[in-house]
Amino acid sequence: TTAAGACTGLGVAPNQIGEVYGIFKAYTTRVGSGPFPTELFDEVGAEMAKVGHEFGAVTGRPRRCGWLDLIALKYTCQINGVTQLMMMKGDVLSGFDSLQVCTGYKYKGETIHHLPYNIEAENVTPIYTEFPCWKEDLTKMTDPSQFPAELNKYIDFLEKELEIPIKVVSVGPDRTQTIHR
C-alpha cells in the first residue's frame, strides 16, 4: 500500500494531496513469513508481543516483534512522501532495560544505510543504536510535557534521522491516550 494508491484508486490528482500522514509503531512487527532483520527471538520479543497484544484477531497467532528498523521506516516515508508521523504503542516499550534502533545494516562486508536488494537474514545484519529506556507508565499521561526524558530523546532521535516531525504519540489503546505534540 502506498499513498499514491489514493490518487489512482480514488481519482485524486497528486497535486491535490497536501499532507501525508505516516503511522508506525515504536517497535517493528511482522505477520507471516519473510525477512525481518530486527526480529527478536528472546524474552524481549515475547514481552513486546504480550504487552502490545500482538496476536492475530482471527487466528490468535503471535505477531513477530523486533526493534524499530529505521532503514525500512525511512524507505517507507520516502516512497510515500510522508510529511508527518504518528508513533503508536509508545507505552509498550516502558520498562525495558534499554532500547535498540536499527540504524544501518552490515551487508556483504559493508555498512549500508539503505535497503539492499536482498534483505534475507543470511545477507543482512542490523546495526543498532542503543537508548536508555523509560521506566514510567505512560498510559496515564495526557500531555507531552509529562513524557520522561528518555522517551523525548527517543522521539527526537527519530525525528532527526527521518527529517519528519512526529506529531502524535500513542500511549495506550484508548482515544484519550493519543497525545498531540
Q: Which of 26-30, 103-107, 118-122 has the lowest mean pLDDT?
A: 118-122
pLDDT mean across residues, the chain: 94
Closest to 92 measured CA to CA, from 118, 68, 122? 68
Residue 74 pLDDT: 97
Identify the residue whose cell numbers are 537474514. 121
pTM, rounded to two decimals? 0.92
- DSSP letter at 5? H
- Give the per-residue pLDDT at 62: 85
36-50 per-position pLDDT tens digit: 999 999 999 999 999
How much of the chain exceeds pLDDT 90, in percent?
Answer: 78
Radius of gyration of the chain (CA): 17
Do the beta carbons of residue 168 and residue 177 sit within 8 Å?
no
Q: Residue 1: is its pLDDT beyond 80? A: no
Q: How far is CA 159 from the centre of its chain?
A: 12
pLDDT over 90 (residue 2): no
**Given 3-state DSSP classes, what are the helix, strand and coil percentages for the chain, each rounded to the nearest 5?**
30, 30, 40
Polymer length in residues for the chain: 181
